[in-house]
Amino acid sequence: MLINPFYASIIEDDARSASLKRFPYAVIYRIDAERLQIRVIAIIHHHRHPNWISNRIQ
């Protein structure tokens, strides 16, 4: 994510999801190009219901 933050899949609007390799979690984040920052929205377990992600992003 630090090397290329654009590699992750876009899941909604400009939010992206990157899965962790060793653990069943995903990092949901947005890229702030003006400030050159990654803003983490949530770290979620893969068994979490997808609607939870949509509600969290908004």
pTM confidence score: 0.78
Question: Is the pLDDT assigned to residue 58 strictly greater than 70?
Answer: no
Which pLDDT does position 29 carry in this prediction?
94
**Domain extent at residue 50:** 5-57
Give the DSSP letter string of 44-57: EETTS-HHHHHHHH
Judge contact between 16 and 28, C-beta under 8 A. Answer: yes
Number of domains in the chain: 1
Phi–psi pair at 10, nearest 5 degrees: -80, 125
3-43 pLDDT, tens per residue? 788 889 898 888 999 998 899 999 999 999 888 899 998 89
Which pLDDT does position 48 carry in this prediction?
77
